[in-house]
Amino acid sequence: MSGGPAPTGPTPSASGASVHRESRWVGQGYADITKLREIAAKHERVSTRNQQRAARINTRIEKLRHHAAILREKAQKVLGMIPDIESEIAQHDRDIQAATARMGGAPIGSDVTNLHVRVRKLQQKVVDLQHKARTYDHRAAMRTQKTAELKIKADRYLEQSKLAEAEAQSYRQRADRLQAATEGEVAARLGTSGMGPSAPPPPPPDSL
């Protein structure tokens, strides 16, 4: 029995190995793309997390500013009460001088000493109101200082957010370029294999 002509083209084992290598190469490419997109998503998450922190700090800053404004308004309201009290003190002083002049060196009566007591009480009230107003101002100043410290912290978080977003954008661009290159290579390989010469027909069977 004579054998037919030897088949041309790659052997089945060689062809299978080539397909396996190509499949592994494509799979590795898509795995790299997935990894790059995963890293980009991680940086995006860090970016939005820092934005959240900055937003919460900014909300707290506005609350502190509001409280400081209220405290300053209270301080001004308290200080606004002092001129009326001072006018009342001045009136009592004039009454004391008039009563003393009428007595002409006689012992001081109870009406005059009563006026002195009222003057001292009003003076004490003025001092108390001044202290209260200064306390409000001090508390407002403390809140203003706190807002300055928080503003620095919020700016730091926003800067970190911008850096993380830039990193995410860089990894996304790398993934896009790699995906385009991988898909282009796969398309080129498929086109080449589809346009290649057809395999020769199998030889006829041997005659018995």
Query: How many domains, the chain?
Result: 1
Q: pLDDT band for 79, please (50, 70, 90 cuts).
A: very high
pLDDT at residue 65, rounded to an integer: 96
Distance of CA 8 to the CA centre of its chain: 68
Q: What is the DSSP letter of 104?
A: T
pLDDT reported for residue 31: 81
Least confident of 23-32, 73-82, 136-145: 23-32
Q: Which of 3-12, 114-123, 183-192 has the highest mean pLDDT?
A: 114-123
Instruction: Give domain status of residue 10, yes or no.
Output: no
Confidence of residue 21 (pLDDT cuts 50, 70, 90): low
| 139 within a domain of the structure (yes/no) | yes
The domain in which residue 31 lies consists of 18-187
Asked if residue 34 is part of any domain, the answer here is yes
Is the pLDDT score of 23 beyond 60? no
Residue 175 lies in a domain: yes
In a domain, 29, yes or no: yes
Please check the confidence at residue 130 and state whether its pLDDT lies above 80.
yes
Residue 7, domain member (yes or no): no
Q: Whole-angstrom Cα distance, residue 82 to residue 124?
A: 11
Q: Evaluate whether residue 2 is within a structural domain.
A: no
pTM flag (> 0.85): no
CATH number of the structural domain spanning residue 67:
1.10.287
Domain presence at residue 107: yes
Q: What confidence tens digit (pLDDT) does each residue in 33-60 have?
A: 888 889 999 999 999 999 999 999 999 9
Please give, one letter per residue, the 3-state secondary structure of the chain.
Answer: CCCCCCCCCCCHHHHHHHHHHHHHHHHHHHHHHHHHHHHHHHHHHHHHHHHHHHHHHHHHHHHHHHHHHHHHHHHHHHHHCHHHHHHHHHHHHHHHHHHHHHHCCCCCCHHHHHHHHHHHHHHHHHHHHHHHHHHHHHHHHHHHHHHHHHHHHHHHHHHHHHHHHHHHHHHHHHHHHHHHHHHHHHHHHHHHHHHCCCCCCCCCCCCC
For 16-20, 73-77, 153-157, which range has the lowest pLDDT when averaged over its residues?
Answer: 16-20
